[in-house]
């Protein structure tokens, strides 16, 4: 058995050449798990006919729910489907939502990033809005674009810090980062609208967008952030602190 903790990193469905179904996970997520959390990342399929949730959680010491282009299907939070919510990855929904609930129930450390925080929120009764900037007073949280509408070609521009997040004084995140205000990147359309009963909001952007949550009553690490913390935890002190805390939690579980 490997001496390193194992982290399951969820995959997303991708159609290769418009013909061949594949599962993918961004290498930034895998590198963050390896370099900062000190664990071995293992991609698992966001497909219920491939991934057995019980077997998965028996095998890993933690789970990372990553960002992805697809939105959580609105029927999971009581809203009728509409083109504004598209695209979807319903297979991933069918895995991610029960995985989030099972991790919390079992005390398996779980970290959600971007779509991942939305999955955690929905799993515990929250609702989402498909386009953050359509809400009154909100900024455009989507990736930086050129004048022609294409996403900016420079990743350093796309993933640059875009806004502040104010953290709850004395909360988990404020203690983790050693401060009550941080700056983060922003690459999302959908956002948490109404948090569920167990979803504790610990960080809010300057425009009121929910950016950091924890799951109340979770016996283990159960945190989610709306930004892409996987982009630069090797150099960014905020994102490094988040992945190190995740690594400490999975290490503790493995030793136990």
Active site residues: 114, 228, 230
User: In whole angstroms, what is the distance from residue 233 CA to residue 255 CA?
Assistant: 24
User: In whole angstroms, what is the distance from residue 216 CA to residue 32 CA?
Assistant: 26
92 within 8 A of 68, measured Cβ to Cβ: yes
119 within 8 A of 93, measured Cβ to Cβ: yes
> Which residue do the tokens 């179904």 mark?
21
User: In whole angstroms, what is the distance from residue 76 CA to residue 9 CA?
Assistant: 22
Q: Which residues contact 171 (CB under 8 A, 6 or more apart)?
A: 202, 214
């Amino acid at each position: 058995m490997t001496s390193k903790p194992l982290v399951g990193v969820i995959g997303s469905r991708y159609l290769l050449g418009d013909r061949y179904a594949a599962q993918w996970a961004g290498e930034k997520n895998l590198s963050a798990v390896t370099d900062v959390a000190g664990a071995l990342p293992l991609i698992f399929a966001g497909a219920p006919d491939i991934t057995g949730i019980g077997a998965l959680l028996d095998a890993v010491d933690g789970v990372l729910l990553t960002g992805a282009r697809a939105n959580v299907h609105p029927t999971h939070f009581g809203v009728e489907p509409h083109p504004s919510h598209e695209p979807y990855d319903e297979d991933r929904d069918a895995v991610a939502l029960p995985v989030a609930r099972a991790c919390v129930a079992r005390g398996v450390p779980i970290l959600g990033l971007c779509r991942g925080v939305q999955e955690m929120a929905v799993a515990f009764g929250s609702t989402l809005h498909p386009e953050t900037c359509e809400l009154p007073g909100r900024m455009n949280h989507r990736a930086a674009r050129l004048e022609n509408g294409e996403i900016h070609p420079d990743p350093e521009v796309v993933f640059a810090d875009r806004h502040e997040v104010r953290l709850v004084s004395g909360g988990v995140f404020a203690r983790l980062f050693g401060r009550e205000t941080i700056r983060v990147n922003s690459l999302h359309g959908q956002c948490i609208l109404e948090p569920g009963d167990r979803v504790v909001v610990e960080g809010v952007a300057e425009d009121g967008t929910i950016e950091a949550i924890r799951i109340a009553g979770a016996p283990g690490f159960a945190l989610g952030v709306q930004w892409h913390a996987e982009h630069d935890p090797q150099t960014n002190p905020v994102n490094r602190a988040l992945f190190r805390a995740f690594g400490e939690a999975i290490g503790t579980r493995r030793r136990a």
